[in-house]
Structure 1
Amino acid sequence: MANKLIKKIEITGMITLLTGLHIGGTNSSMSIGGIDKAVIRNPLTNQPFIPGSSLKGKMRSLLEVSIGANLQRSSAQVPNGPSKDGSAADLFGNATGNDTQKPSRIIVRDCVMTNAKYVFEKTELPYTEGKTEVVIDRITSAANPRQIERVPGGAEFSLNLVVNIWEKDNNEEELMKNLFKSLKLLKDDYLGGHGSRGYGQVAFEIADIKEKNVSSFYSETGNSAKSIKEKYKAEVESLHQN
């Protein structure tokens, strides 16, 4: 019997930058004294955003490290690649290309800036700042300055995650537990590049968690989604703690 999708669990909220964030984009122009490393932007609005791939990849890698899932494994002959089995693969999927392949249970949407007007008014560059960093030669003391573009602390982005639950799944609670665990790990780590130098510290705020049953929400009658945030009250409160 084929596996059947029975419901979707949607988590919505906000990501707040506590320090500047750099997720690299394409340098469309080069100029003397200009930005050396640009951030990724929406080409239609010119606003920076957090790609779902960046957020999902960081969540997965931190969860794998926390359970030791990727220490002895490889993916496509890449040492320490994504784990092929276990709780991390159950949530994030794998790409074995055979009968053991698991689809990702989680969808991570791109995160768009929600306070763009405020950020635009406070920054010299459009929605961003240029942070000057200097590499010092230890022998000659010669300075090699560079400018890195980053979205400043205080910027806010939308958060939208969807977890698909299938008929044959018997690990819904474990999937949700590991989702919140990966967010908590990320809160105490960093998102994007240059994290060891203070970039990418973020905070999460969960606004709601809704359950959308295929048999009711997606039917002709279209019943309302059911809020189940109270069910995960402990996990949400733990994520919100400093």
Structure 2
Amino acid sequence: MPVYTIETTYRLPVFRQRSYDAPTLAEACRLAIEDDDWEKEARDYESAGETYVTGAWEGADTAYSGPALQVPSHYDETLQRKADHFEVLLGLVKVLAGTHDAAARAYWADRAALAAAKAEAILAGARDPDVDATQPRAHILLSFDEQEARAAVEEVIANDDAVTMSPASVADSDVHAACVAVAAASDLSEERGSALFRAALAAIRSAEQRLARVKEGERRGREKEE
């Protein structure tokens, strides 16, 4: 049976209570934050945080002596789970807000539903929901928004003497139409194929390394038994 070394952690609040002369509450808070004298600190053992996993390794007593294993995110601290998932939710909101094609919206709506389910699990303190095998996880290779295109317009005009108009002359409708046209005309099939090939090679290397670690763990186990 495999053996794993698991590092778990909990946060222990350390606090102090000190008075500050200040004209406002905001100024008093600023003084407290900037105060680096913690000589009279106290530990609040009754308010210790949850226990969560901060590291995992194959084998016995192997912490930080080999490659760390990827721990399922629902064993992370709840606050960190919320922070990590916020970026995912924000990205989905931005994509859905900028997508007008019905098929594309349906594609991203399915993924938004999965993300919402995970967010609900985090709020409930539950494990991550199982990913539906029929809904493969997508990896976006390239994206840009119209604000980035607007910034590019300003940069081009500033550095190209042949362009005499001002950035304000380029309307938002011009930027939108240009982005739609460029996205429709771009063919990234070669780049996509190359990315898939590199992903396949990386997956094979990852599997080889994982199997090698398993074999090494089994070998060490046999040596201990002998």
TM over 0.5, yes or no?
Answer: no
Per the normalisation by structure 2, the TM-score is 0.24
Which gives a bigger RCO, structure 1 or 2 (Cα 8 Å, sep 6+)? 1
More helix by share: 2
Q: Computing the radius of gyration over CA atoms, which structure comes out larger, 1 or 2? A: 2
More strand by share: 1
